[in-house]
């Protein structure tokens, strides 16, 4: 009996095995699981679909930092416009580090970009990244800030940086009366070529008014020692900027302004004239001077037309800003990128020497904005909405 049961079990097992094999053969084939997608690198944005006929990433963009509204706006505009044009793009941020900047460029190169748009964190350090991109056959556009010390830059997309400094200086000149007006000088980062160009543009306007006694420099012994020079060499500019640099940092600007006011006498205050390099530093410096009881009135410059500074201008806390319509600059960079991808020629508007070569430039104009024309230039043009501000008339 036990032996028969064992045989019966074996027969049933064999039958079940055969039936299972038959059912498997008749069933639908299994589907292949989709390939896993790779998340963008830290600081990167998702790329758009490649253009028709193209493969992989086409345009790589490296911007300095997410901490300034300007660069976030640029990121969005680059993404939207290039995607609309049918090109794939990825934007990475260097966050104040030249090492991160170089890593970002290398990451984009491994993804097969054809055009690199880079706003250098450090004008000199970025040369190595530009050289690496050129060696890989990638076209390099230096964006807003000029990469120095290399021939590996195809185009420089910029605002008229000399005009920025000149307009800041002219505003101070236009509002100065009499002689002996206290002048406080501030500059951007010593690692940023633009800081030198802005200062150069300002100095060439201010120097005659310093020489004739309209202004008296109060916070830079180097500037005082060179005040008889209508033009400065780069080394001389570096000597002055070394004393007045804000490093484009709000806290650094505040600390420097506080130190300058602490060292100044009551006679060095009263109505003062302040050359501040951009809006962020202008607000910090303005707040510091406004808090000093011996400062009765101040005129302070800026640039970039940041929302916070537009409100300061409306409220009378910042005198002016130089409006650089980033919509125009971004579009110029986009047009240049597309032309390079399509092998089309570009029409340039001058050159900038970067210490190694004359780089063909694509320049955009700049506009002085103060309380008198802030609405016409920034609101009526559609750059900002009136509802973004209070007290606007």
Residue 345: CATH number of its domain: 3.40.50.2300
Please indicate, yes or no, if residue 54 is contained in any of the structural domains.
no
pLDDT at 70: 86
pLDDT at 393: 74
> Are residues 99 and 179 both part of a single domain?
no
Structural domain count of the chain:
2
pLDDT of 13 > 90? The answer is no
Q: pLDDT by residue (tens digit) across 142-195?
A: 999 999 999 999 999 999 999 999 999 999 999 999 999 999 999 999 999 899
Please indicate, yes or no, if residue 117 is contained in any of the structural domains.
yes
> Are residues 384 and 284 both part of a single domain?
yes
> Are residues 282 and 209 both part of a single domain?
yes
pLDDT at 19: 40
3-state helix, strand, coil in the chain (%, to 5): 45, 15, 40
> Are residues 178 and 282 both part of a single domain?
yes
Tell me how far apart the alpha carbons of residues 332 and 143 are, in angstroms, rounded to a whole number.
10
pLDDT of 106 > 90? The answer is yes
Taking the CB of residue 344, how many other CB atoms lie within 10 A of it?
10
Please indicate, yes or no, if residue 171 is contained in any of the structural domains.
yes
Of residues 111 and 18, more confidently modeled: 111
Which of the residue ranges 19-28, 114-123, 333-342, 346-355 would you say has the lowest mean pLDDT?
A: 19-28
pLDDT at 205: 98
> What is the residue range of 307's domain?
161-324+368-388
Under a CB-based contact definition with an 8 Å cutoff, are residues 256 and 224 in contact?
no
pLDDT at 359: 97
Please indicate, yes or no, if residue 131 is contained in any of the structural domains.
yes
pLDDT at 113: 97
Percent of the chain whose predicted confidence (pLDDT) is above 70:
86
Please indicate, yes or no, if residue 310 is contained in any of the structural domains.
yes
Q: pLDDT by residue (tens digit) across 277-327?
A: 999 999 999 999 999 999 999 999 999 999 999 999 999 999 999 999 988
Please indicate, yes or no, if residue 316 is contained in any of the structural domains.
yes
Please indicate, yes or no, if residue 313 is contained in any of the structural domains.
yes
391: closest CA among 310, 313, 315? 315
> Are residues 208 and 305 both part of a single domain?
yes
Do you know the residue count of the chain? 393
Counts of helices then strands in the chain (DSSP H, E): 13, 13
3-state secondary structure of 142: strand
> Are residues 350 and 219 both part of a single domain?
no
When pLDDT is averaged across residues 224-245 and rounded to a whole number, the result is 98
Tell me how far apart the alpha carbons of residues 256 and 253 are, in angstroms, rounded to a whole number.
5
> Are residues 308 and 214 both part of a single domain?
yes
pLDDT at 326: 85
Q: pLDDT by residue (tens digit) across 30-81?
A: 333 333 323 333 334 333 334 433 457 999 999 999 988 889 989 999 999 9
> Are residues 283 and 319 both part of a single domain?
yes
Q: Which helix (H) or strand (E) covers residue 376, if one does?
A: none
Of residues 32 and 205, more confidently modeled: 205
Please indicate, yes or no, if residue 110 is contained in any of the structural domains.
yes
User: 229: pLDDT confidence band, cut at 50, 70 and 90?
Assistant: very high
Taking the CB of residue 188, how many other CB atoms lie within 10 A of it?
27
> Are residues 107 and 254 both part of a single domain?
no
> Are residues 251 and 383 both part of a single domain?
yes
Terminal alpha carbon distance of the chain: 107
Mean pLDDT of the chain: 88
> Are residues 209 and 274 both part of a single domain?
yes
Tell me how far apart the alpha carbons of residues 28 and 240 are, in angstroms, rounded to a whole number.
78
Torsion angle of the four alpha carbons 272, 273, 277, 278, in this order, in degrees rounded to the nearest 10? 70
> Are residues 238 and 220 both part of a single domain?
yes
């Amino acid at each position: 009996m036990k032996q028969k049961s064992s045989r019966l079990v074996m027969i049933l097992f064999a039958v079940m095995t055969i039936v299972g094999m038959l059912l498997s053969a008749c069933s639908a084939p299994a589907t292949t699981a989709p390939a896993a997608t790779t998340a963008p690198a830290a600081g990167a944005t998702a790329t758009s679909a490649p253009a028709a006929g193209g493969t992989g990433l086409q345009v790589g963009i490296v911007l300095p930092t997410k901490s300034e509204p300007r660069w976030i706006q640029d990121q969005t505009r680059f993404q939207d416009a290039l995607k609309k044009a049918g090109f794939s793009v990825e934007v990475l941020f260097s966050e104040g580090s030249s090492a991160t900047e170089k890593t970002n460029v290398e990451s984009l190169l491994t993804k097969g970009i054809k055009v690199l748009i880079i706003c250098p964190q450090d004008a000199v350090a970025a040369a190595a990244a530009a050289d690496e991109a050129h060696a890989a056959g990638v076209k390099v556009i230096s964006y807003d800030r000029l990469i120095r010390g290399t021939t590996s830059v195809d185009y420089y997309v910029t605002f008229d940086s000399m005009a920025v400094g000149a307009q800041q200086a002219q505003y101070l000149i236009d509002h100065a009366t009499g002689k002996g007006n206290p002048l406080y000088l501030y500059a951007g980062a010593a690692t940023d070529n633009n800081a030198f160009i802005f200062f150069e543009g300002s100095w060439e306007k201010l120097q005659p008014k310093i020489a004739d006694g309209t202004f008296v420099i109060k916070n830079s012994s180097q500037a005082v020692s060179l005040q008889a020079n209508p033009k400065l060499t780069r080394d001389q500019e570096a000597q002055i900027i070394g004393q007045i640099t804000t490093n484009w940092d709000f806290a650094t600007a505040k600390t420097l302004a506080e130190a300058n006011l602490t060292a100044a006498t009551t006679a060095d205050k009263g109505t003062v004239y302040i050359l501040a390099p951009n809006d962020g530093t202008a607000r910090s410096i303005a707040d510091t001077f406004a808090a000093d009881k011996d400062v009765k009135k101040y005129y302070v410059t800026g640039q970039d037309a940041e929302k916070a500074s537009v409100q300061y201008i409306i409220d009378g806390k910042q005198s002016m800003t130089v409006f650089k319509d980033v919509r125009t600059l971004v579009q110029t960079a986009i047009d240049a990128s597309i032309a390079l991808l399509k092998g089309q020629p570009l029409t340039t508007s001058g050159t900038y020497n970067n210490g190694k070569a004359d780089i063909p430039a694509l320049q955009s104009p700049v506009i002085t904005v103060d309380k008198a024309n802030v609405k016409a230039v920034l609101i009526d043009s559609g750059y900002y909405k009136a509802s973004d501000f209070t007290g606007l008339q």
